[in-house]
A and B are shown apart, each in its own frame.
Chain A
Amino acid sequence: MMTAELAARINSILASLILLTAFGLLVQRRIYAMLNIFAWQGLFLSISTALVGYVSNLQHLYVSAFLTLTLKVFVLPYILYYLIVKLNIWREVEEIVNIPSTMLIGILLVILSYHVTTPIREMSVLMTRSTLAVALSTVMLGMLVMIVRKKAVTQIIGFLAMENGLFFAATSATYGMPMVVELGVALDILIAAFIFGIFFFQIRTTFDSLDLGEMEKLKEHD
């Protein structure tokens, strides 16, 4: 029998691993490696969810954990991998801001997250409360990925990382959302991935590139 104390510690370790993978997404240059890191993040998230479900004795969190495992560790990375192969975009990821600066901004964001979640940590009685800051950081780092990367595929990975962060926030702050909501979100993510796939093909046929900088041409000039 695992004590709540031990579970909280394990959960903290998982949280720190998730944060680490979030930073990994931020600094990794190669798309294929990014996909791997994203899959790892999903795995940690899934384990953490199952752990919380076990400790708090909430059965539906197992379903969430299973969904996370299937979708975020296998299905989505596979779809993205397929896209990468199909579109032949192995090239290094171009960044707008250089990597050390990105890291620094990321660290600042983590500090900010810890700062703004202090009042909630003081209020909450859940064992997972300390991980809320990590969840928020993951959301922000995901957004940062979307901002600093130029290629469409990396945008999607950033977006999915953000979703991971939100999911983590939900389990850590409130022991998960109601089942219906989680199922809906899982479905949404899946559909989003398909839509992204279609858009990639469209964008490439239109602009001959997946570089989002090309989309600037769409702006009206006066």
Chain B
Amino acid sequence: MSVSTIELVVTAISMLMATAALAPFINLKRPFLLNLTFYIPAIACVIALAGGIGALYSPEQTLVIPMGLPDLPFNLRLDGLSGFFIITIAGLGAIVSIYSAGYMQSYIGKRSLASFVVFYNLFLAGMLMVTVADDAFFFLISWEVMAISSFFLVAFEDENAANRKAALLYVVVAHVGAMLILLSFGIIAGYTSGFDDFSGYTFEAMRKSSLPLPLATAAFFLAFTGFAAKAGVVPLHVWLPEAHPAAPSNVSALMSGVMLKTAIYGIIRVTFDIIHIQQWWWGGVVLALGLVSAIYGVLFAYMENDVKRLLAYSSVDNIGIILIGLGLSMMFTSFSNPLLASLALTASLLHVINHAMFKGLLFMGAGAIVHATHEKDMEKMGGLIHKMPATAAFFLAGCMAISSLPPLNGFVSEWLTFQAFLMSTSFPNRVLNLLIPLGAALMALTAALTAATFVKVYGVVFLGHPRTQHAREPHDPGFTMKLGMGLATSACVLMGVFPTVVIEALGGVTASLTGASIETEPHPYHWLWLVPLNANRASYSAPIVLLGMVVFVGGAYFLLNMRPRNTRKAPLWDCGFEKMTSRMQYSSSSFAMPIRRILGFVFNIREVTRPPQSGLVRAHIQNITYRLRIRDRVWNMAYQPVADASFWVARQAGKLQHGRIQIYILYSFATIITLLLLL
């Protein structure tokens, strides 16, 4: 091949940049041209995808672009890890771009689309740049391009004050994170080359230096906290449930599906590649935070009634699962058990791409629903399966994947993470061996609650009867939106049925990072059977599971429908009481009530039930007001004090401001006198 893989990626980035630069000059009110501005990024993503796949199977490549500051050129490097994340980003990027072409049509004539197209392309370019950056300078520039452009995408519908507030919260958290990452790179580069020259700013130089333990610990925790802010790890997750409902759904799909993963990429790059893991408790911290995020995210997702907020909390949960795999891998690495480390890392990486696909699918589905019903509140939906059969089918696939049901892709990665957990009784530390099963149990609880959450989502949104007028007249979205969702669905199914293909492709990545890869012993039917370590211990074959399911379900269907019967359609469960209304169905809140009662202490709940105001007979109650408000405790515990403190400081500083010119002159006068006396 005459074009190297890194050149493919650079070409893709340049195409995205060029589209962003040209978009303001294009008349985006014409549907064809608007489509074009999304098909070009889709093509660019396909090119990048080719580069990423190529990178998995070829040696690493570097490229120096003489841009940026004098003597500080941009260093680019494409290795297996970057390649894998490029596949994730570009894969979902291409799908979402196709979807966007249809999704954004509805905005024509309502608001200017130029800014959206510019920042959408920049956003994709920024994410790709992050993965190929090979020096701290270019990495942070890419990181900022990504953060700022996504800020503008979140703030796209900025006439709404809540959207502006959400975008602002997001940009604040993102920048606190970026600052910590900068400090971390500063420590590493400063130790590598001293603060007098900048030769230590490349990752290549950083890799070669071995930091002393205190510095390495500081660098690790700074970087981890910075990336965790972006990834939405509890307690830095507060921006996620605010930003996602504010952003257009295609942006949510990209942000949740792949932007959070760039943070995971950053963590892997820094810990495994640059500073190397030195202490097992680093991994322990990552593992613990992963568990907290997983359980916390899913509990709040379960309570949520806004479909996009629910998906956002579910992203917190899934990031937690990814971190569990990462943490385990770090612990195994520090206990020098490369085989198990690679198992955990494989599980983690696999969940990265799986979550990208199914969460992208779910957000696209949510976009189609919101688009059709003009509602985000699930309590106002219902019965959509009749009006939107295609969306319902795709959304069901997404729900099954995220609930980790075989044979879809979510199952494989969660199953592998469990395998990694169950193998970890081999830690040379008694307390750890005691605590690890507890973690596995927590993760199992998370998986169950996730399934319950998505049963709730699907049941409330698609099944039953419409709850409001809006929900009565929706329709399936256009072809491009269905195509986008369909592509994501097929990715979920294919990766679920043939996980071994993905895992074997990951072999090179884990081998370079942990020194080993699972699938060490060549298996005769290795495409069929997924054997993490030992066939006696555990193995899984998705194709056979699928076959079994098809046979069983098909057989049952055949048996039931063998002879023609009279089918009678009647209201369900009306128990002879013939006035069933749509308000009598299970609602989102009522479905979540048992958990709300049992685990109420986790939440900050305020529940008000008010009997009717008028003095009617109690037996003949016409209407009852019921209000439920669930708040994030983290907000009150961690963020509110900071906000209050900064307001207090501002008020104290405000006392200096009298608004009298004389007082201001007096300040400078006093300063001059003081300086004269002191100097």
- Give the B-binding residues of A (Cβ under 8 A): 96, 112, 116, 140, 143-144, 146-150, 155, 212-213, 215-219, 222
Contact of A222 among B651, B658, B665 (CB under 8 A): B651
How would you classify the secondary structure of chain B's contact residues: helix, strand, loop or mixed? helix
| A143-B669 contact, Cβ under 8 Å, with A112-B676, A116-B676, A222-B651 | yes
| Contact B665 A215, beta carbon cutoff 8 Å | no
Q: Which residues of B contact A140 (CB under 8 A)?
A: 669, 672-673
| Contact A216 B666, beta carbon cutoff 8 Å | no
| Contact A215 B662, beta carbon cutoff 8 Å | no
Smallest CB-CB A-B distances: 8 pairs: A219-B659, A216-B659, A116-B676, A146-B665, A147-B662, A212-B661, A143-B669, A147-B666
Q: Which residues of A contact B677 (CB under 8 A)?
A: 112, 116
Q: A212-B662, A216-B660, A219-B657 are in contact. List 18 more A-B contacts (CB 8 A).
A: A96-B662, A112-B673, A112-B676, A140-B669, A140-B672, A140-B673, A143-B665, A146-B661, A146-B662, A146-B665, A147-B665, A147-B669, A148-B662, A150-B662, A212-B660, A212-B661, A213-B660, A217-B659
User: Would you call B615 an interface residue if the criterion is a C-beta within 8 Å of the partner chain's C-beta atoms?
Assistant: no
Q: Which residues of B contact A112 (CB under 8 A)?
A: 673, 676-677
Q: Which residues of B contact A219 (CB under 8 A)?
A: 657-659
User: Would you call B654 an interface residue if the criterion is a C-beta within 8 Å of the partner chain's C-beta atoms?
Assistant: yes
Q: Which residues of A contact B676 (CB under 8 A)?
A: 112, 116
In the bound complex, how far is the Cα of B665 from the Cα of A92, in angstroms?
22
- Give the A-binding residues of B (Cβ under 8 A): 651, 654, 657-662, 665-666, 668-669, 672-673, 676-677
In the bound complex, how far is the Cα of B664 from the Cα of A147, in angstroms?
9
Contact of B659 among A146, A149, A155, A218 (CB under 8 A): A218
Quick one: closest B residue to A139, CB to CB? Answer: B672
In the bound complex, how far is the Cα of B152 from the Cα of A112, in angstroms?
56
Q: Which residues of A contact B662 (CB under 8 A)?
A: 96, 146-150, 212
Q: Which of B659, B666, B668 has the most CB of A within 10 A?
A: B659
Q: Which residues of A contact B665 (CB under 8 A)?
A: 143, 146-147
| Contact A215 B673, beta carbon cutoff 8 Å | no
In the bound complex, how far is the Cα of B661 from the Cα of A148, in angstroms?
10
Quick one: closest B residue to A143, CB to CB? Answer: B669
In the bound complex, how far is the Cα of B666 from the Cα of A148, in angstroms?
9
Q: How far is the CB of A95 from chain B (nearest CB, A)?
A: 11
| Contact B660 A222, beta carbon cutoff 8 Å | no
Q: Which residues of A contact B673 (CB under 8 A)?
A: 112, 140
In the bound complex, how far is the Cα of B564 from the Cα of A203, in angstroms?
93
Quick one: closest B residue to A146, CB to CB? Answer: B665
Q: Which residues of A contact B666 (CB under 8 A)?
A: 147
| Contact A144 B658, beta carbon cutoff 8 Å | no
Q: Which residues of B contact A146 (CB under 8 A)?
A: 661-662, 665
| Contact B669 A144, beta carbon cutoff 8 Å | yes
In the bound complex, how far is the Cα of B659 from the Cα of A191, in angstroms?
26
Q: How far is the CB of B674 from chain A (nearest CB, A)?
A: 11
Q: Which residues of A contact B654 (CB under 8 A)?
A: 222
Quick one: closest A residue to B679, CB to CB? Answer: A116
Q: How far is the CB of A153 from chain B (nearest CB, A)?
A: 13
Q: How far is the CB of B310 from chain A (nearest CB, A)?
A: 37
Quick one: closest A residue to B669, CB to CB? Answer: A143
In the bound complex, how far is the Cα of B382 from the Cα of A41, in angstroms?
87
5 sampled A-B residue pairs with Cβ under 8 A: A112-B677, A146-B665, A155-B661, A217-B659, A222-B651
Q: Which of A112, A146, A148, A222 has the most CB of B within 10 A?
A: A146
Quick one: closest A residue to B663, CB to CB? Answer: A147
| Contact B658 A215, beta carbon cutoff 8 Å | no
Q: How far is the CB of B673 from chain A (nearest CB, A)?
A: 7
In the bound complex, how far is the Cα of B664 from the Cα of A219, in angstroms?
13
In the bound complex, how far is the Cα of B666 from the Cα of A217, in angstroms?
19
Q: Which residues of A contact B669 (CB under 8 A)?
A: 140, 143-144, 147
Q: How far is the CB of A59 from chain B (nearest CB, A)?
A: 34
In the bound complex, how far is the Cα of B661 from the Cα of A217, in angstroms?
12
